[in-house]
Structure 1
Amino acid sequence: MASQVRLRLLPSAKCLFDEPVQVKVTGLRSRQVVTMKARSTDEKGVVFSSSATYRADGSGEVDLERDPSLSGTYIGVEPMGLLWSMKANIQHKCFFKNKVINPHVVKFSVHEVEGDGRMLAEETNERLLIGDGVSRVPVKKGNFYGVLFTPPGEGPFPAVLDLCTFMSEKRACLLANRGFVVLVVAVYNDKPVNIKEMHLDCFKEAVDFLKQQPKVVNKGVGVISRSKGGDIALSLASFVPGIEAVVWINGCCANVVTPLFYNKRKILSPLLFDLKRVIPTESGASIVKYCMNDPLAEENRATLVPVEKAKAHFLFVASEDDLNWDSKAYMDQIVERLKRHGKENFETVCYPGAGHLLDPPYGPQCPSRVHGIVHKPVLWGGEPRSHAAAEVHLWKKIQEFFISHLSYEATESSTCKL
């Protein structure tokens, strides 16, 4: 019986990380109930897995684009549910994938429900982070370190600075696949506790470096950011010329934790937090959403980023189930400030049910992990199904936003293929 069963990944078992695949099983008995599984191991050796129960149709077929999961790590019709619902076998771990040269490998399999769950068929999905022809070049210039990703072809291409809190190449590489020259730079290149002050100058150097690239379109630079990177992105747009478009994802309206300097003078004081407001949970991970001090309090006015000075266009993105901090409130405060100054250079997107860690789509969601500043496991928020849907929608929105505001017309040749 098992030799008749076939598991297929369409259109191919090899795809880019941010592309969906259609999972189909044929050769089952009519109305047979089976368990579908997915399994992957990240770069730190942590195993992630998911499973779902399906009933075959009268022809002995299961199609995840059509058929509902009856039970498991998700229920209902979720074509990519086996990917985003994968959970770690160890508590408080996020899927770690930063070596973009190597694909994200997922083993899909189908098993009998009866007996010992004998495997009937399996297939390996290679999810590539770097497309054909995309170049990856480490960069150390002046006071910044980063990695530059450049699409194939002569261009010119729009330029994007990816400000990640800690170095991660995944988002930058995936954007380069879509026709952007992307320089990824980490906000923190050392443990945050060791950094007593931050200088906007080094991020300006990164912007200037991007502008000088031969394949970059003669236009301002875009910036994409999340969390702590959000207030750095706002500060760049407010103090540094040449920033044309900013994507701010679950950031803050104020300069957080560390004083910010520019041209050898302090331009923003730090908004601090109080760990006495940490909320413990039975899982061992805490909720830190309410730890940040109020940025609108009189004593914290010097921490607010003067975003009204910026000439850039903004896309503000807030997850309403963000448990790291109150991103929705911070976004509303930024918007109110812009409106008060007569500005209309922004758009907003809110995602009910999504958590803090919005990433490119189709990776395992991270419910909890050790916080880089708090140094203990925290809950990041997000109902898995809603969070996964938000990542799919946002990824497309980001690309459309940058194309619209960086004077670039997307063409077929600018998108990488396998």
Structure 2
Amino acid sequence: MPFEEVVGRRDVLRLCGGAGLLPIAGCSGTATDPSFAVPSAALTDEPITVELDGLDPRTPVTVRASAASRDGTRWVARAHFETDGDGSLSVPEQAPERGTYATADPMGLFWSMRPADATPGNRLPPEVLFVPDETAYDVTLSAEANGRTVAESTTTRRLYDPRIEHRTVGHDAVVGEFFAPPGDAPAPAVVHLHGAGGRPHVPTGRLLASRGIATLTLRYFGDPEPIPDTLAEVPVEYVETAIEWLRGRERVRGPNVGLFGFSRGGALALLAATRSDAIGAVVGWVPSGVVWEGLGYGRVPAGTSAWSVDGEPVPFLELADADVGPPPTPSLPFFEPTLSAAGEDELAAATIPVEEAETPILLVSATDDRRWPSTALSERAIDRLEANEYRHEYRHESHAGAGHYLRFPYLPTAGTERDVRHVYGGGAEANARAAADAWAETVAFLADALGGAVE
């Protein structure tokens, strides 16, 4: 990346004893002093190489990582290794003998961090989640051997490129935030559609723009006008209006734009794609190929469809009547019984006619999704594409053991299984791997389908 300073092992050794880019402990001007080789900064979605040099051969060493959450809580991870025959260690290539993660993983020390005061192996309280500062956070790496710290370095994880452009959309008919890549050249573009939480995914828009994809993070229900107050009979035409607004920007390279939807937004993306020929790609994360009942105030069943077309509710499946107890709770019991009991005609009417789209489609699901059965709901869409011999590219990536809460790659995933209100499913490692794979696949898919290059 243009703003990154990726420094190799020899460069690090050369910088010891001088004014270098990396803060390194143990540099005394000799190549035998222990030292880290690590980039000084990288985007949060970029895996980095962490290497350690200058120790004796076959030396036990503990590598620790620590970072501060936005609330000041210190998060930590550790891994125990043994150096190789020349006294060096490459973290990506070596499985730790023990630690907070188990297999060879270049980013294991990053996603496996937990609060420093957490009891190892125990579930965190539901209110605990690593929330970084808005722009970036620092991760400090330290190496311990023979009972003392022998090397230390800090690497910055940027949430986005600070050179991206941002503007709040002031159009009377569109509510959202627009982000464009650095520079002034037109770029491929997407509309990002949030889930039932009702707020635009601004961090997603920033990171996509950092990767060369202009993004409108659209809000389609809640305040302010003209959008509906609740997730009930949201006009699909509103997405079409947003597409046209985006296509009219000087920073957008057309003629087509993509749709990228999360959860309920994934269903909306698929539905909108059946109506517009201005869509060049569709990505749905933990989406549904079936239309469901909407949600009213307090997120109670709305008694009508989540979506409307031409002022009429789109045919839908009702949410089941379920007693899930006090929060945090899963919401699967509201979906699975109805899906199992629905008659063939009822299910067919509520299924999105995805074969009517004219664009490549990528769906990403999680097999331990506790919010709704995203794998089964995605397979419903894929089955329909296959049955109709869909002529465009389509894929479904199902992530084993992962839950509904997919966030940016390599952020600590402890706490992503649930929060104070909801159970999302999955586990720390499965969620970390799903997030990394899904994001990389999505960015590459969008860039390829829309004719752009990943920065």
Query: The TM-score by the shorter chain falls in which range?
Result: 0.7 to 0.9
SS of 2:80's equivalent in the other structure is: strand
CA distance in 1, matches of 2:276, 2:405: 27
Return closer, same or farther for 1:351/1:30 CA change in 2, 3 Å cut-off: same
1:51 correspondence with 2:78? yes
2:377 match: 330
Return closer, same or farther for 1:287/1:212 CA change in 2, 3 Å cut-off: same
Q: 2:412 aligns with which of 355, 361, 364?
A: 364
The alpha-carbon deviation at position 211 of structure 1 amounts to 0.6
8 Å contact 2:53–2:87 — kept in the other structure?
A: yes
2:212 match: 179
8 Å contact 1:187–1:229 — kept in the other structure?
A: no
CA deviations 1:223-246 (Å, max 9, x no partner) are 112212111111211234422210
- Normalising by the residue count of structure 2, what TM-score does the alignment of the two structures yield? 0.77
1:35 correspondence with 2:62? yes
8 Å contact 2:322–2:333 — kept in the other structure?
A: no
CA distance in 1, matches of 2:248, 2:395: 29
8 Å contact 1:39–1:108 — kept in the other structure?
A: yes
Report the residue type matching 1:150 in the other structure: A
In the TM superposition, 1:165-176 aligns within 5 A as 165=195, 166-176=199-209
Report the residue type matching 1:354 in the other structure: A
Report the residue type matching 1:353 in the other structure: G
8 Å contact 2:68–2:132 — kept in the other structure?
A: no
CA distance in 2, matches of 1:238, 1:331: 16
1:212 correspondence with 2:239? no
The alpha-carbon deviation at position 75 of structure 1 amounts to 1.8
Q: Single out whichever of 205-214 and 193-202 deviates more from structure 2.
A: 193-202
Return closer, same or farther for 1:189/1:289 CA change in 2, 3 Å cut-off: same
Return closer, same or farther for 1:144/1:48 CA change in 2, 3 Å cut-off: farther
The alpha-carbon deviation at position 143 of structure 1 amounts to 4.1
Report the residue type matching 2:174 in the other structure: F
Q: 1:224 aligns with which of 260, 268, 273?
A: 260
CA distance in 1, matches of 2:287, 2:133: 22
2:271 match: 235
Report the residue type matching 2:397 in the other structure: V
CA distance in 2, matches of 1:253, 1:98: 35
CA distance in 1, matches of 2:321, 2:154: 47
2:139 match: 106
Identify unmatched segments of 5+ residues in structure 2: 1-24, 28-32, 119-123, 295-304
1:123 correspondence with 2:153? yes
The alpha-carbon deviation at position 364 of structure 1 amounts to 1.8
In the TM superposition, 1:43-192 aligns within 5 A as 43-88=70-115, 89=118, 90-92=124-126, 93-97=128-132, 99=134, 102-112=135-145, 114=147, 118-131=148-161, 133-165=163-195, 166-187=199-220, 189=222
Return closer, same or farther for 1:268/1:361 CA change in 2, 3 Å cut-off: same
CA deviations 1:204-263 (Å, max 9, x no partner) are 332121111112222211011221211111121123442221011211122334121234
The alpha-carbon deviation at position 66 of structure 1 amounts to 2.8
Larger Rg: 2
Q: 1:245 aligns with which of 276, 281, 286?
A: 281
Q: CA RMSD in A?
A: 3.1
Q: Single out whichever of 288-297 and 47-56 deviates more from structure 2.
A: 288-297
CA distance in 1, matches of 2:369, 2:146: 37
1:255 match: 291
Q: 2:438 aligns with which of 370, 394, 398?
A: 394
SS of 2:36's equivalent in the other structure is: strand
The alpha-carbon deviation at position 22 of structure 1 amounts to 1.5
Return closer, same or farther for 1:144/1:193 CA change in 2, 3 Å cut-off: closer
SS of 2:58's equivalent in the other structure is: coil
Identify unmatched segments of 5+ residues in structure 1: none
Q: Which has the higher strand share?
A: 1
The alpha-carbon deviation at position 138 of structure 1 amounts to 2.0
8 Å contact 2:404–2:424 — kept in the other structure?
A: no
CA distance in 1, matches of 2:193, 2:212: 18
Return closer, same or farther for 1:193/1:36 CA change in 2, 3 Å cut-off: farther
CA deviations 1:327-380 (Å, max 9, x no partner) are 22111111222333442432222222333233342222253233xxxx724142
CA distance in 2, matches of 1:138, 1:7: 45
1:321 match: 368
Q: 1:264 aligns with which of 265, 289, 311?
A: 311
2:332 match: 289
8 Å contact 1:26–1:61 — kept in the other structure?
A: yes
Percent of aligned positions with the same letter in both sequences? 28
8 Å contact 1:156–1:217 — kept in the other structure?
A: yes
The alpha-carbon deviation at position 300 of structure 1 amounts to 5.5
CA distance in 1, matches of 2:154, 2:201: 25
Report the residue type matching 2:205 in the other structure: A
The alpha-carbon deviation at position 23 of structure 1 amounts to 1.3
**Greater RCO, 1 or 2 (C-alpha within 8 Å, sep 6+):** 1
SS of 1:337's equivalent in the other structure is: helix
Return closer, same or farther for 1:381/1:8 CA change in 2, 3 Å cut-off: same
CA distance in 1, matches of 2:325, 2:386: 34
CA distance in 2, matches of 1:307, 1:69: 45
8 Å contact 2:43–2:158 — kept in the other structure?
A: yes
CA distance in 2, matches of 1:142, 1:225: 23
8 Å contact 2:403–2:431 — kept in the other structure?
A: yes
